Amino acid sequence: MRVRKAVALGAALTLTALVSACSSNSGSGSGSSTLNWWTWDDKQAAAYKVCATDFEKANPGVTVKITQYNVVDYFTKLTAGFVAGKAPDAFQNSVQFFPQYADQHQLLPLDDYIKKDKFDLSRFSVGVDSWKYTDGHQYGLPLDWAATGLYYNTDMLTKAGYTTKDVQSLNWNPDNGGTIGKMIAHLTLDTKGRRGDQPGFDKANIKTYGFGQLAAKDFLGQSTWSSFVSTTGWRLGNKANWPTQLNYNDPRLVKTMDWIRTLVAKGYAPKIGTFTNTVSDVDLLSSGKVAMETGGSWTASTYAKIPTVKVGIAPTVLGPDNKTRAVFSNSNGNTIWAGTKNPDLAWKWVSYMGSEACQTKASATGTFFPSIPASMDASAKALKAQGVDLSVFTDMLKNKELYPSPDFRNGAALQDAIEPLIEGYFGGQKNDSVFADMQAKTKTILTQK
């Protein structure tokens, strides 16, 4: 009998917990002064809490709730939220998905608010146009910007006989690789300690690759081939925004891809699939598997924290003319859900996030680069005090070496169609003719409604 009583008690307790959990939930959910904001970036979730606290202080009775989902789940959850009518009031958004959401009328146009508040969009140095849609409406404010740079293992560089000055102005061309081509060969080490440009070098047993992953399926090439080919004047789209085709069949890109294949064939850079997708740039460089690589500006502060490896940052390569540098830059945006019950409050929060006060505070940890120049300067200063030099990236911004990623439709479909082809090319199953196929595919997908 005792057992039965215990079971009954347990069941009763579970039910009580269930009921109380349900009731507490319905109580807090209907509160109108709770503002939900979502991001996929765990670091930004932590960074913007500072702004949320200030915002709550300035607006008594308002609670800002920041929620983070990892990027794989983020857009699934967002779509489920749209369907269920429970999407967040405002959220971080990616250029790749924004046209689709705007077409589905899930995003609130911000033009009226911008006009009413006389919100000055020129305060942002990058990213404003990325958030303007083909219907002429501004749907988002830029939250950040990102570029790429060359990250290198300082010890390996010194051991190979280079100084950190040598990496600051490397040039490149698709024919012989330029000065960076020579450096990549020399930085590569086989397991017996022979360098890539020395006789007897064994390309089958590599200890350290001279350069990180270039043969990757990434269809934008942001942290792989883009900063190389862009120096030749090549651009991804046939128009700066809303292109009708992507220029994969341009001879300049084809030549660049061929150069990457020879680099891999010589053992200077890893083959596609040598490292899995979950191995990040940071993992590669800090484990000593690669001596140098192209990496996102967003990892600069992470490299600085690796205790045993010293990582230096250099600008990306100069082109065949030895003076052009061009780096693909993108900006995530802050958008408001069309179905929010509190559009005014959501705008208040979004526009506060787009203010110098908030951006300066939130970016102090260096986990993202603010789009407002004054905040960027403050962030760079704060990080310099921690030993992280961001001048490589701020110089690119000042020297106008950045060009914005184009806005395009059907980003997800494009990615699904193009990536297997690039994978096939680098995997050796496809030859140069694949690029014509790729270009034709982009034409079909980009013009689809």
Partner 1 sequence: MAVTVAPGPAAVPRRPTRNTARRFSPGRAVAWTYLGAIVLVTLFPFYWILRTALSNNYQLATNPSSPLPVGFTWGAFERVLGIASTAEAQAQGGSGATLDIAIYLRNSLIYASVQTALIVLLSAAAAYAFSRLHWRGRDLVFNILISALMVPSVFTLLPNFVLAKDLGLINTFAGLILPGGLFQAFALFFLRQFMLGLSTEVEEAAIIDGAGPLRIFFRIILPMTSAPIATVSLLMFVNAWNDYFWPLLIADDQSVQPLTLALGVFKQSSPQAAPDWAGLMAAALIAALPMLLLFLAFGKRIVNSIGFSGLK
Query: Which one, 17 or 357, has the nearer CB to partner 1?
Result: 17
Query: Which residue(s) pair with 404 in the sheet?
Result: 329
Positions in 362-391 near partner 1 (CB under 8 A): 365
The answer to whether 53 contacts partner 1 (rule: CB under 8 A) is no
For residues 376 and 369, the answer to whether their CB atoms sit within 8 Å is: yes
Position among 6, 8, 12, 24 found at the interface with partner 1 (CB under 8 A)? 24
Q: How far is the CB of 54 from partner 1 (least distance, A)?
A: 16
The residue written with tokens 């694949």 in the block is 434
User: Closest Cα to residue 122, out of 354, 307, 304, 324?
Assistant: 354
The answer to whether 84 contacts partner 1 (rule: CB under 8 A) is yes
The answer to whether 45 contacts partner 1 (rule: CB under 8 A) is yes
Query: What 3-state DSSP class applies to 95?
Result: coil
Query: Which one, 5 or 400, has the nearer CB to partner 1?
Result: 5
Position among 32, 33, 53, 70 found at the interface with partner 1 (CB under 8 A)? 70
- Give the rounded distance of the alpha carbon of 439 from its chain centre: 24
The answer to whether 281 contacts partner 1 (rule: CB under 8 A) is yes
Query: What 3-state DSSP class applies to 92?
Result: strand
Q: Mark the segment that binds partner 1 (CB under 8 A) among 156-164, 279-287, 347-355, 418-426.
A: 279-287
Position among 130, 179, 232, 286 found at the interface with partner 1 (CB under 8 A)? 286
Q: CA dist 433 to 4, 176, 232, 332, 440, Å?
A: 74, 22, 21, 34, 11
Position among 32, 33, 53, 67 found at the interface with partner 1 (CB under 8 A)? 67
Return all residues near 88 (Cβ < 8 A) that are at least 6 apart.
Answer: 36, 37, 38, 67, 78, 81, 337
The answer to whether 22 contacts partner 1 (rule: CB under 8 A) is yes
For residues 106 and 99, the answer to whether their CB atoms sit within 8 Å is: no
Position among 115, 278, 387, 449 found at the interface with partner 1 (CB under 8 A)? 278
User: Closest Cα to residue 293, out of 301, 302, 283?
Assistant: 283
Query: Which one, 59 or 79, has the nearer CB to partner 1?
Result: 79
The answer to whether 440 contacts partner 1 (rule: CB under 8 A) is no
DSSP assignment of 21-85: HHHHHHHHHT-TTEEEEEES-HHHHHHHHHHHHHHHHHSTT-EEEEEE--HHHHHHHHHHHHHHT
Q: Mark the segment that binds partner 1 (CB under 8 A) among 75-83, 158-166, 322-330, 369-377.
A: 75-83
Rounded Cα gap, residues 315 and 392, in angstroms: 6
Q: How far is the CB of 73 from partner 1 (least distance, A)?
A: 6
For residues 438 and 249, the answer to whether their CB atoms sit within 8 Å is: yes
Query: Which one, 177 or 295, has the nearer CB to partner 1?
Result: 295
**What are the residues binding partner 1 (CB under 8 A)?**
11, 14, 17-18, 21-22, 24-26, 28-29, 40-43, 45-46, 49, 65, 67-73, 76-77, 80-81, 83-86, 223, 278, 280-284, 286-288, 296, 298-299, 302, 305-309, 365
